[in-house]
Structures are given as C-alpha cells and as structure tokens.
C-alpha cells in the first residue's frame, strides 16, 4: 500500500444522486480538503456504508494437492529458525491487495516441519491454533507443556503463551495454522517476544498436562475452578471426542431427537470450559459433518470464515463461486457471502471464524435461507 506523503488524499468528484454539481468552485473546495487531509462523506458513502456488508475479501479455494507440494519444496529450500520463526505459508485472499490474509481478520497457513526438525520458541498476543488434517509425530510445547499433534486434533496456542514445535518422527508433517494476525495488524494491537532458540523439552506424552487437568467432560479441577480465563485451558481437542460427538448427534437425529444443525448436518463447537464460550476471544472453531445426500440451507453471516475439508468431498457455493472440494482443500467465506454446502458422499469439515469479535461488539447477524434472521444475541 504505497502512498505519497505529499498528497495522500485524492478526492474524486462523484456524479449522481446526492452529489453536488461539478464546478470550478467545487474542485477548489476538494483541493482544499486534500491539502488539509480531509475527505467528504458524500463522495464516499456509497462505498463506505453499503446497505449490506461488502467485504473486500473474495471467495476463494486453495487445493491441498497444490499446497502440500509447495510446502514440501519449501521444506527442502527454506530452513526453520530464529528470525523466520516458522515454515508457514499463508493463504493470500485475492481481494486483499497481496497481503497474507485469508480474510480481513484471519490468517490461515500451511506449516511444514521435516523429520527431526524443530521451530524456535516465541510468544505473541495474537491467538493461534493448529488443525491437523493428516499425519502425526510433532509435539508443540506450549508454556512448557508438550502437546502431541495427531490427525483430526484441534490445538490451541492462546495469546502470549510461549510455544515451539519439534518433530520427533522420521516423517515430515504438515498442518494448518489459524491466527488473528490480520486483525491485530490492521488495528496495531499486538506484541511479540522471542523465547529460547530451541524447545528444550523433547518428551512425547500422549496427553498434555492441560488435558489431564481439563479435558474431562463437565469437570474442573477445584484448584482452578470458578476463575474464568479469556481462552480455553485445554491445549488439545482430540479427534476421538470430536468424532464421537458428531456421531452421537446424527444418531440422536435418527432416533427423532434434536441436536443437529439441520437434517443430515451435525456440528460441534470447541469451547472454553471456564466460560462455555469460544476457545479464544477472537476465534471460533467448529467441526461439521454432512451425511451423504445432504445440502445445507444457504446461510449468510457477519464475519468471515475459513473451512478445510477433513475427509470426504462436496460441492461448495460461496457467493457467485462454486467448487468441488476434497481432503485438505481450504476455502474462504467472506462476510455476508451466502454459503451452501452439498455432499453426495458425505464430508467432514473443520471451520474457523472471527465470529467472537462481532458477537462481543454486538455486530453479529445471521440470515438463513429459511427466512430466520438473528441479530445481536
């Protein structure tokens, strides 16, 4: 985004309803505005305040079959270490000027770690998570707690926790990182700090200490209970629990009981057990399962989301774009773009979004095809 300091403002006289006639006096006024770093509302309001949200971000899909080879190639050419910090390659939404932003608020990247490699320790106030679409063998050490990364797991690194990764296996591993980097960057609100250059704890426990304390259903340690924390204390949400919860929902539906989002569509949200709310203040994370032959109702929502196909395949329509997606593919749903997902053979999808931002600011709104509309819960 290059601006010339001397004339950062350029006012284009508009024509049409509500616009003044173009005259030499008006031009002179507009030059006066420019000199004083001023911009009139009346020339901008159509773009600035449209009837419904118009995100600069565009619907787009990235293919795992293209991403993974590039990540592997980066594994060969780009070392991991202090300074570069992570071998992470971010999705750059085509509407966002080349910035490494999946959406105006969210970062999504594929991260790759070769056999026996490790990534240095740092912390930042940006909230982060990882989702493992395939593979295993890496441990992420979060504030000293080693957390195994395995297929289907959803793993948290909430803001300001030191963390580094190390691959204890002889195979490379790739996974997805999600963060609120764009939001923090646009608002100038984040801090970053280096930790040790190497992770020193190379132990490989099956369960992290956080899970041993907190990942029991409806149960909290008395030593910490009753004190809500902004982010979840659970470092890993394991696939076996997610999978079972989805199966349970569909089985309940078969028996005639509520639970699923809509017929054939089960969905769970990962939550912070100390509040019942989202796992982190800026990021919502969910897992969706569509049975074979299911088509979701078309849905618009304030805020943006990124999906990754975990297994199966489906047809996705976002606004005027449509794709067939399969294992590992990622796609972006910009704010208020209508989304429909359909699957003949069934599909499992991981989803994350910036919804908590809008819910906390009372800006959230949902419109579903069936006519229901929710505002500002």
Which residues inside 288-317 make contact with its own copies, applying CB under 8 A?
A: 288, 302-304
CB atoms inside a 10 Å sphere around CB 368: 16
Torsion of CA 132, 129, 244, 355, to 10 degrees: -130
- C-beta closer to its own copies: residue 3 or 170: 3
Beta bridge partners of 130: 155, 177
Comparison of 78 and 171: residue with beta carbon closer to its own copies: 78
Binding mask 212-241 for its own copies (x = CB under 8 A): xxxxxxxxxxxx-xxxx-xxx-x--x---x
Alpha helices in 99-180 (DSSP H): none
Closest CB to its own copies among 322 and 376? 376
**Residues 99-128 interacting with its own copies (rule: CB under 8 A):** 99-100, 104-105, 109, 124-126
Burial class (CB in 10 A: 0-12, 13-18, 19+), 237: buried
Whole-angstrom distance, CA of residue 335 vs CA of residue 43: 24
Residue 75 in tokens:
């594994």
Name every residue whose Cβ is closer than 8 Å to that of residue 27 and which is 6 or more positions away in sequence: 13
> Residue 204, interface with its own copies (CB under 8 A)?
no
- 278 and 272 Cβ atoms separated by less than 8 Å: yes
Q: How far is the CB of 6 from its own copies (least distance, A)?
A: 10
- Chain positions 314 to 373 lying near its own copies, rule: CB under 8 A, are 334-336, 354, 356-363, 365
- Whole-number minimum distance, CB 171 to its own copies, in Å? 21
Residue 312 Cβ vs its own copies, minimum distance, rounded to whole Å: 18
Residue 249 is a binding residue for its own copies (CB under 8 A)? yes
Interacting span for its own copies (CB under 8 A) from 30-38, 292-300, 308-316, 320-328:
30-38
Compute the least distance from the CB of residue 87 to its own copies, in Å.
Answer: 7
* 195 binding its own copies? (CB under 8 A): no
CB of 371 to its own copies, least distance (A): 17
Show contacts with its own copies in window 271-290 (CB under 8 A).
271-279, 281-282, 286, 288
Sheet holding 136-142, edge to edge: 145-150, 136-142, 163-167, 118-124, 192-194
**DSSP helix/strand/coil, 29:** helix
Segments in 103-192 forming alpha helices (H): 181-187
Residues in the chain: 377
If one asks whether residue 259 binds its own copies (CB under 8 A), the answer comes out as: yes
- Name the segment binding its own copies (CB under 8 A); options: 135-143, 188-196, 319-327, 342-350: 188-196
């Amino acid at each position: 985004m290059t601006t010339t300091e001397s004339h950062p403002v350029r006012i284009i006289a508009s024509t049409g309803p509500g616009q003044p006639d173009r005259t030499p006096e008006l031009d002179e006024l507009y030059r006066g505005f420019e000199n004083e770093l001023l911009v009139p509302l009346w020339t901008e309001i159509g773009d600035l305040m449209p009837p419904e949200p118009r995100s600069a971000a565009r619907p787009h899909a990235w293919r795992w079959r293209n991403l993974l080879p590039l990540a592997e190639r980066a594994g060969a050419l780009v070392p991991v270490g202090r300074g570069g910090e992570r071998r992470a390659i971010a999705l750059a939404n085509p509407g966002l000027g080349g910035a490494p932003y999946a959406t105006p608020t969210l970062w999504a990247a594929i991260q790759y770690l070769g056999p026996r490699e490790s990534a240095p320790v740092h912390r930042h106030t940006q909230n982060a998570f990882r989702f493992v679409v395939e593979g295993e063998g890496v441990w992420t050490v979060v504030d000293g707690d080693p957390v195994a990364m395995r297929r289907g797991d959803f793993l948290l690194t909430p803001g300001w926790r030191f963390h580094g990764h190390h691959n204890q296996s002889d195979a490379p591993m790739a996974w997805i990182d999600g963060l609120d980097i764009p939001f923090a960057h646009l608002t100038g609100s984040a801090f970053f700090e280096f930790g040790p250059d190497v992770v020193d704890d190379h132990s490989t426990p099956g369960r992290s200490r956080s899970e041993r304390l907190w990942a029991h259903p409806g149960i909290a340690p008395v030593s910490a209970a009753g004190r809500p924390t902004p982010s979840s204390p659970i470092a890993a949400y394991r696939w076996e629990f997610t999978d079972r919860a989805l199966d349970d929902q569909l089985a309940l539906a078969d028996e005639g009981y509520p639970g699923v989002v809509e017929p054939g569509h089960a969905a769970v949200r990962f939550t912070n057990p100390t509040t019942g709310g989202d796992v982190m203040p800026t990021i919502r994370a969910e897992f969706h399962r569509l049975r074979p032959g299911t088509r979701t109702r078309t849905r618009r929502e304030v805020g943006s989301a990124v999906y990754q196909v975990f297994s199966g395949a489906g047809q996705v329509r976002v606004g005027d774009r449509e794709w067939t997606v399969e294992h590992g593919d990622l796609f972006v749903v910009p704010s208020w773009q209508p989304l429909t997902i359909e699957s003949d053979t069934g599909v499992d999808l991981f989803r994350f979004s910036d919804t908590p931002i809008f819910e906390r600011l009372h800006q959230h709104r949902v419109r579903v095809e069936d006519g229901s509309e929710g505002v500002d819960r």
